Structures are given as structure tokens and as C-alpha cells.
């Protein structure tokens, strides 16, 4: 019952019931990435007359967070490339870092030195500015 209610009333928790039906009727699976995101397009790559190109969508395994889409799939989703990553032989270069989702708002977010949220002691002010005083 909980699963049914979540699919009916929440869009941020995986897929809604409507998306599940739409995918079943009109979609074909294209692939899956290392985060468990599943990618779909219209059956046979059919062009949507209202858009002028094929529809492409992703179903997240849990919480819908767009920053979990890796760069290779991002290019395909936004029609930058026509070939999905599952159909090409690509090996990442040794200088490329693995994809990380956006960590803003989480404990893993970047906090520069001097931030009130950073760990430890804040560095002293260097005196590189003059404070405003009335009458100046």
C-alpha cells in the first residue's frame, strides 16, 4: 500500500504511476548507468511531432536527483550526442575523475576556509579593507 501511495502522490521518489504507465506503453529501455538510473526513449526512436525530436527520459532508483546523471548520459539526454553510451566503446582517460553528484546542502559539501560552516578555527582578518564609519 505504501509503495502505491508513493507512486501516486510523489514525483521525487523514483517514478510516479503515470510515468510507469507511459514508459510501459511508449518507451524502450536504452541502458543503465553505474548509479542505477535507467534511461528510456520513445519506441523505435520515433520523433514526437510536438517536439520535433524523440523523447528521452530517466527513471531514478530512489530520490530524483538530476546531478546523479553522469556526463556521458547527460549528453545523450540533452540530444548533444545521438549514440547512447551503451552503444559506443568509450574508455575514460587516466586524468578523468569519476563522476560525483552535487553535494550542496549535504555534509559532504565544499566549505572553504573562513566559512562559518567549516571545521576548525576561522583565520584572522588580514586588514585588507577599511571598515565604513559614519562621516567618511
Phi, psi of 13, deg, nearest 5: -110, 90
Asked if residue 127 is part of any domain, the answer here is no
**Sequence-ordered list of residues with C-beta below 8 angstroms from that of 19, at least 6 positions apart, any chain:** 57, 59
Residue 63 DSSP class: B
Asked if residue 135 is part of any domain, the answer here is no
Model-level pTM? 0.66
Asked if residue 15 is part of any domain, the answer here is yes
Asked if residue 78 is part of any domain, the answer here is yes
Asked if residue 23 is part of any domain, the answer here is yes
> Which residue range(s) make up the domain with 15?
2-87
Number of structural domains (the chain) is 1
Asked if residue 46 is part of any domain, the answer here is yes
Asked if residue 133 is part of any domain, the answer here is no
Position of cell 510515468? 19
pLDDT tens, the chain, 136 aa long: 666 666 566 655 666 777 778 788 889 999 998 889 999 999 888 887 888 889 999 998 887 888 888 888 888 899 998 888 888 877 777 887 887 778 888 888 888 877 777 776 666 666 666 778 898 6
Asked if residue 94 is part of any domain, the answer here is no
124's grid cell: 584572522
**Sequence-ordered list of residues with C-beta below 8 angstroms from that of 111, at least 6 positions apart, any chain:** 117, 118, 119
Amino acid at each position: 500500500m505504501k509503495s502505491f501511495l508513493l507512486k501516486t502522490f510523489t514525483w521525487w521518489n523514483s517514478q510516479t504511476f503515470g510515468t510507469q504507465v507511459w514508459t510501459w506503453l511508449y518507451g524502450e529501455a536504452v541502458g543503465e548507468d553505474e548509479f542505477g538510473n535507467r534511461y528510456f526513449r520513445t519506441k523505435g526512436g520515433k520523433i514526437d511531432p510536438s517536439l520535433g525530436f524523440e523523447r528521452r527520459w530517466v527513471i531514478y532508483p530512489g530520490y530524483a536527483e538530476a546531478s546523479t546523471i553522469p556526463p556521458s548520459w547527460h549528453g545523450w539526454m540533452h540530444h548533444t550526442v545521438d549514440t547512447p553510451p551503451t552503444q559506443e566503446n568509450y574508455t575514460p582517460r587516466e586524468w578523468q575523475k569519476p563522476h560525483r553528484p552535487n553535494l550542496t546542502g549535504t555534509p559532504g559539501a565544499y566549505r572553504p576556509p573562513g566559512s562559518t560552516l567549516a571545521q576548525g578555527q576561522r583565520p584572522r582578518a588580514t586588514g585588507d579593507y577599511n571598515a565604513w564609519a559614519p562621516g567618511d
